[in-house]
Amino acid sequence: MKCDVVLVHVMRFQRNAYLYLQSVSMSALAKGAFGVIQGLYILSLGFSETVLGTILSARMLSAAAFSIPAGMFSDRVGRRPVLIAAGLLTTVGYLGMAVSSSPALMVLFSCILGCAEACQMTSGAPLLAESSTPEDRQRLFGVNFSLSMGVNMVGSLLGGFLPERFRSLGLVRSYRISLAVFSLVTLLGVTPTFKIQEEKKSKARMGELAGAAKDEVRELLETARIREVWNLLFYNILIGFGAGMVVPYFNVFLTKKLEITTDLVGLILSLTNGATAVAGLIAPVLATRYGRIPTVVGTQLASIPFLLLIALPPNIYLVSFALFMRSALMNMSNPVASGFSMEIVGPEKRGKMSSLMRIADNLTRSASAAVAGYIMENWSYEIPYFFTAVLYCLASIVYWRAFRHYDREIRGQAAA
């Protein structure tokens, strides 16, 4: 019966939502594979964890910096052209990383990938919000999250499997061929975005856009001054700094600490993404029953013991289970939190809200990824996990204190 209800909700999604889901699935497939291969590829070239941290940091920093112009273009020109640009830039970035051998070039193409990520993230959430009714919105965000994670799971599995098939050509070359193959997959995701239909907006010339940049920054600052927005940004800063210290290094951690092959790393990360995808479908049900804020806070706090379990003495079964549970619990409420963030501001500020969220998240992830790379090279692979646990606890406290009454107020207004 519940499956029938879910199917009815899915069938009610608007055409733009379906097209976006098709596009993001191709992007998630390549991203899952890239997440398994990139760190191992860079280390196989003889570079240190500090260099790896710098390359990862550059991507997140450029994503933060480009979030403002990407959000501005998205609001003024439309979601469709920005999403098209995201797909094309992703392909260029992945191909560039595949053929690069110097840290400088890798940083450059990492920055291009960051710009692509900014375009995708600042337009994706507003497009979904604008392509759904209030009744369907939470379900749509949940389907988008679970679909992305499910396809990401397949990408992680293929990302671990493919390099092993080319291992006879040499370790570095096997990684390069695999990266090149998955970079072409991102081109498939561009096609559906061309079919997205939006209300025609007045064409803005480049000079007008440049002149509007100052106003855009001012409006962003005004949006950030809204109390609810500021609390949400502070929460994202804490989460981002914690996540940047561990998430980009899961593949390296598994390889270095457990000494396992690439295909086994891909399998572990694939199963982890699969668990997160299933959990993402459960989160809207929990939010309906217990409220959105308790769901977000409760699942995130429940993930912290498993985060600490990863850093215990290496054991492949224990670490795999802990990674599995941590990712599912920590990320399952993302669609609930994402949909909630689009409701605390009006439609005209959703693009700006999305930009601010990405800036806060990527700036902090950029800084912490660089710090974590240095810590892992010079001290220990486990230390970042303890820092992250503390930051996640603080973030949950901030989120609960700021929004614990929000669901109650909404229900009261609906009843009135």
Question: How much is the pLDDT for 19?
Answer: 87
Question: How much is the pLDDT for 308?
Answer: 92
The structural domain count of the chain equals 1
Question: How much is the pLDDT for 104?
Answer: 92
pLDDT at 357 over 70: yes
Any domain includes 196: no
CATH for 276: 1.20.1250.20
User: 112 pLDDT band (50/70/90 cuts)?
Assistant: very high
User: 368 pLDDT band (50/70/90 cuts)?
Assistant: very high
CB 328 within 8 A of CB 341: no
DSSP letter for 345, please.
S
Question: How much is the pLDDT for 2?
Answer: 41
Q: Under DSSP, is residue 157 helix (H, G, I), strand (E, B) or coil? A: helix
State the number of CA atoms in the 13 A half-sphere of 136 facing the CB: 18
Tokens (6 digits) for 40: 């191992």
Question: How much is the pLDDT for 341?
Answer: 79
pLDDT at 1 over 50: no
Question: How much is the pLDDT for 210?
Answer: 55
pLDDT tens sequence across 369-414:
999 999 988 888 889 999 999 999 999 999 999 888 876 655 444 4
Q: Under DSSP, is residue 13 helix (H, G, I), strand (E, B) or coil? A: coil
pLDDT at 299 over 60: yes
Q: Which comes out higher in pLDDT, residue 103 or 345?
A: 103
Max alpha carbon distance in the chain (Å)?
69
Taking CA atoms, 19 is separated from 31, 91, 216, 373, in Å, by 19, 19, 29, 38
Any domain includes 345: yes
Any domain includes 6: no
Any domain includes 193: no
pLDDT at 277 over 80: no
Any domain includes 201: no
Q: What are the CB-based long-range contacts (under 8 Å, 24+) for 339-346?
A: 339/129, 339/137, 339/138, 339/141, 340/292, 340/296, 340/403, 340/406, 341/125, 341/232, 342/125, 342/126, 342/129, 342/137, 344/226, 344/228, 344/229, 344/232, 345/223, 345/226, 345/228, 345/229
Any domain includes 213: yes
Measured CA to CA, the distance from residue 13 to residue 371 in angstroms comes to 42
Q: What are the CB-based long-range contacts (under 8 Å, 24+) for 205-210?
A: 209/72, 209/73, 209/76, 209/77
- Average pLDDT for 186-193: 86
- Work out the burial of residue 208: count CB atoms within 10 Å of its CB; fewer than 13 is exposed, 13-18 middle, 19 or more buried: exposed
pLDDT at 208 over 70: no
Any domain includes 5: no
Tokens (6 digits) for 162: 């493919």
pLDDT tens sequence across 238-269:
999 999 999 889 888 888 888 888 888 888 88
Most confident of the following: 67-76, 103-112, 204-213, 216-225: 103-112
Q: Which comes out higher in pLDDT, residue 3 or 137?
A: 137
Question: pLDDT averaged over the chain?
Answer: 83
Question: How much is the pLDDT for 167?
Answer: 85
Please give the residue range of the domain that contains residue 149: 11-188+208-415
- Average pLDDT for 355-364: 82
Any domain includes 377: yes
b/e for 380-405, b at 16 or more Cβ within 10 A? ebbebbebbbebbeebbebbbebbee
